[in-house]
Structure 1
């Protein structure tokens, strides 16, 4: 056994129940699941690192439920097999009506007695966070404002525990396990205080995000894979794991923007929407399950947010003013005007790298220590308060990365056969002789008012091509939660896809976003799906639209979808940061 193998074995063999610092937080005799165990392992490693700054890192107060509680719960539900075969809504209803063990209710009640801040109920399944499968976004995390009486708050958390349990048998998780040949799963639970502070009616951290000890998808050759990378947002870090806008920084060169320095381009790649727990939503709701997780545009709530930061806000946000010369950024202190085309606030984090260089150095050391302790590259979720330097670890786990195939054949390719070419964000890999290319016409998509219908039609094509691989080419961001930014296709609707190409059409507002670290990219890594962002009109990029318009194709279930039959190949080289799709 090699030293690396021994390190990995120690990592997976560690049991938090054997640690007196953690055992009081755990209920149950079995595993608390990969997510829970990895988090406690990560904070233990940082506390014992010998680095004074790293040892100051904390995790939010939390309790952990073992998977044996889940096993008992599902075994006691009548007619479970019939429920699993029926509609998901009926299965969830049965789970919500079935009682948890009294010891679970007692532990939740005890935890919430002095915990009146918002909480999150998180999945932590046995299969999650393995070296091979990520399960990112396949289960459920529920955010609760934790308002009301102790009885109500206890009832609400216990309700969401049962809801998370039900997701083990929902189609998304079943399809993922089936695709990878994984059997049934068992679920641990984390109930955790949400990171952040109350700022008026909203609860959120100043910064939330994800970090990686390796940068497998470089946007320029000026950064290396070993540098590591962070992707962060203002507010709850939930936005950093979606295909939304976020600031991405190399840990050794945080000033280098993936999108460049042009003000208008920076604006189009900068965050405006952020998430927080809203007291207003709870107070204005009569629902049994009020949704207190709010998604807000900073331009709409500027007067609620700015007073809590004032001069400090200049480190995070800027005011964009449009003009005939392309626009410029100014101090945000004045706030936006009514005309969004002339004046908009966005989170560029322009001053943040200069004022908080220690944050990036600290994240670099944090990820290096975790990688050494795990024996594999590390992936974390975190929250950070720049004012007092408080860093909280929310998740720590192995970073999945497909090994791919080195593409040494790029020099031998006939340039005349290339229909798509990228110069960033690619890993090593190749697929040859792919019989199908599925294409979403950006002109028809942009003029459509049925974005979700187009996305579901892509899923129909995917089902038709079962057993056949295809390349998927679409404008903007594939899988975006905002249909205006790209086709909102779900990942399980692309199960036969071997390569995704996002086409940037700047004049139409479709711009791929270098969202490495999202659940979307975790799935790509695990499944070995190649990815390329191609920017029309950019140097060293090629989008041969004439080929797409002049070559014969079959119209898909929606007129915006075309299916090309032929023989296509994909070659990508992470070392050279080049990828091509070509005709064989």
Structure 2
């Protein structure tokens, strides 16, 4: 920084302050905006006369401080777009303006109403002021007196170079310098009376005491004024809730709090305003750590519970498990980034060139940060409340679980078994929070946001912390059932099923196996209008496509564990297995033959639960009640626990609008065609609604060739598919990707281990069964993989060439020329495994009809 002096535009004030220095940020604490204008006008006039470029950052609700004039650049900004968008845009404007630019900012106090909290005003100043200092600028800011908490004022004081208190007494203006960095004089820090063009120090104690005692009175309300704007707002709400306020006041406060807590999705906000009372919102605030939004996942869970409990046609209180969740506000996410000095890297990640590159560095550093003391204290109090009950820490970002964007599985959630000393449990919890924050910068999440056109929107990461629903059974802890329910099942596997009846994806134990595709394990798929009909035919298929392992929390090892059903069933857990499973006499007999007498094997069919209890009726009613309130199909995650003589207790842990394509228009699938005119024909086993889709390219991964590859080359095939995916234009060359087993498997022996970002440009995806190599598809209705496909508008087909009602023209595929070598010469060694079939002259036509459950892909 140079020693060059710069004028305030008021020569007498220059004498008091010994002038300004390049790099100075000047903050004026004023009673009203007109007092600020008295100092801004001469400062700008002097700067323009000296040929300095001046930028006016216009964002306040007050009248403009400056009128358009030569040399002044005015930037209009809207802080209501969110802290991130606002702060990043200002950072970029400062970068583009370069060194030596002068600035005027509107009143920082106006940011409170946009962001709801002083904390974010302090964060904004903390990241902006040092950057302005680095670039040898001069910048003016204003704070309106008594609008900010002591903590925010202290933070701004610590960060700025010049802090002036502007005091008015009987219409006379005084300036009291509180901080002038690296300058001092015998009278500099005295109050000064502004008279004509002079600043006269109040040299006697009488006038100084009279002025300061009048301008800073000691009243009972002083402590309240020192609270953050967020907490003052909720004090007002509490007072309103205790009085007989008129309906208009009450409704205004509910709308105001929803806007500050529930997010920015207008359809979700409308649901929140309609269903939440003031007491509901105050209860949420009472369980919040930090400030800001509670995020989409938390909003969906709370809405679902309120909608059900308000239902006058059914007593849901007898069926719902109560919740005692905690919410970590979204502003804690930004505070964590600012507190750990990561804001410059965060801003770089917002640029096109840094979108993925800077994200990788940011993700690594977010795993190593620390939390401010007051946030840690909030974490500790929450953990003391839960004691040693297991909890789950779930992402609940601003954009999650709204209409149009589910973000299913894009961000992390973590179980904390919550064992050990208080210090150990706090360490485990904080580590989970860091990992969830870091997951906001994962490649899959960033690719998803870019594909959905969301990369420029604020994506604040709030957190939902829930007690894990379940029971201690020995040294294990888990719910009896968990699953996913959808109120509209467009992916029916039988033509007699009604999509409007809904569907469940049901497992024993924790719901991880219901939302994720797990190798060699299958949840029970339940069409709620035909609960005993399975997607697979025959006893052997029914045996093959069952759940074999159970996810649970192991108290002794303090970790999430997977246990074979056989071991769990033969342990003293008290599980009502008769309700969920049938005895597997064949396996039991084999166990006896091997000397394991007394051990019993079970098949998790859930048949008795589905056929002999009202479970399906209750779940269908639950889904339909929520669908009616949302006026939209819904996707619900739940747990269920049973007690003798009582209805099953359902815990709705998540509810969001279901991303679905539906039936759309009816598609006529030809009845009879010569096999030579068809690439494939199938009945059922597809997801994606009705389609009539032209295909101009096929990417084929050969099962036999893939199976022979060493492990490293199997991963390289996945990367090759990803490189091809990036070159595809969905509109110009819709592509069908066909390969063996499960796309996205974490086990390369069961399928190609791609990430979703490596297939997101495909128009259609086929998983082809090759039983000789053990490569089998999984019909993952309701899983996160399913949500990804639906949201990306990718049609899915599971093809079983050996099945009776399936035809696959393998000869046609093998006889087509391979365009791989020409497109990817560096990967030509894989040409016997990966084939690209171009259909430039005439496309294939993929036709599927949900009602008839028929699919055909015709050749040109």
Fold conserved (TM > 0.5)?
Answer: yes
Asked whether 1:188 is paired with 2:465, we answer no
SS state of the match for residue 366, structure 1?
helix
> Aligned match of 1:137 in 381, 387, 409?
409
Change in 2 beyond 3 A, CA 1:432/1:353: closer
Change in 2 beyond 3 A, CA 1:338/1:581: farther
The CA deviation at 1:62 is 1.4
The CA deviation at 1:98 is 3.0
Change in 2 beyond 3 A, CA 1:576/1:132: same
Which residue of structure 1 aligns with residue 288 of structure 2? Answer: 26
1:353-394: per-residue Cα shift (whole Å, max 9, x none)? 234x31111101110111111111111111112345121111
> Aligned match of 1:63 in 326, 329, 332?
326
1:445-483: per-residue Cα shift (whole Å, max 9, x none)? 344442434333322332344664311112222223444
1:95-139: per-residue Cα shift (whole Å, max 9, x none)? 244332433322221221142121111111111111111110111
1:514-538: per-residue Cα shift (whole Å, max 9, x none)? 2211011111111211112222232
Asked whether 1:349 is paired with 2:620, we answer no
Alignment of structure 1 residues 433-444 onto 2, 5 Å:
433-444=694-705
Which residue of structure 2 aligns with residue 297 of structure 1? Answer: 564
The CA deviation at 1:335 is 8.3
| Residue pair 1:8, 1:376 contacting (<8 A) in 2 also | no
SS state of the match for residue 411, structure 1?
coil
Which residue of structure 2 aligns with residue 286 of structure 1? Answer: none
| Distance in 2 (alpha carbons) for counterparts of 1:224 and 1:6 | 31
The structure having more radius of gyration, on CA atoms, is 2
| Distance in 1 (alpha carbons) for counterparts of 2:542 and 2:697 | 35
Change in 2 beyond 3 A, CA 1:560/1:17: farther
| Distance in 2 (alpha carbons) for counterparts of 1:336 and 1:150 | 49
> Aligned match of 1:169 in 434, 441, 448?
441
The range that moved more, 440-449 or 76-85, is 76-85
Asked whether 1:198 is paired with 2:472, we answer yes
Change in 2 beyond 3 A, CA 1:443/1:17: farther
Alignment of structure 1 residues 395-544 onto 2, 5 Å:
395-403=654-662, 405-411=664-670, 414-415=673-674, 416-424=676-684, 425-430=686-691, 432-450=693-711, 451-465=714-728, 468-544=733-809
Asked whether 1:37 is paired with 2:309, we answer no
Change in 2 beyond 3 A, CA 1:410/1:253: closer
Change in 2 beyond 3 A, CA 1:431/1:78: farther
Which residue of structure 2 aligns with residue 259 of structure 1? Answer: 536
Which residue of structure 1 aligns with residue 384 of structure 2? Answer: 113
The CA deviation at 1:264 is 1.7
| Residue pair 2:289, 2:379 contacting (<8 A) in 1 also | no
TM-score for the superposition, normalised by structure 2: 0.60
Change in 2 beyond 3 A, CA 1:215/1:68: same
SS state of the match for residue 22, structure 1?
helix
Which residue of structure 2 aligns with residue 10 of structure 1? Answer: 270
Alignment of structure 1 residues 227-242 onto 2, 5 Å:
227-242=501-516
Change in 2 beyond 3 A, CA 1:63/1:82: same
The CA deviation at 1:297 is 2.7
| Distance in 2 (alpha carbons) for counterparts of 1:231 and 1:275 | 15
| Residue pair 1:410, 1:571 contacting (<8 A) in 2 also | yes
Change in 2 beyond 3 A, CA 1:55/1:377: farther
| Residue pair 2:404, 2:659 contacting (<8 A) in 1 also | yes
Bigger relative contact order (CA 8 A; separation at least 6) = 1
1:385-443: per-residue Cα shift (whole Å, max 9, x none)? 23451211111111111257535342389544221223213443436443211112122
The CA deviation at 1:564 is 1.3
Q: How many residues align?
A: 556
SS state of the match for residue 308, structure 1?
coil
Q: What is the RMSD computed on CA atoms of the aligned residues? A: 3.0
Change in 2 beyond 3 A, CA 1:59/1:453: farther
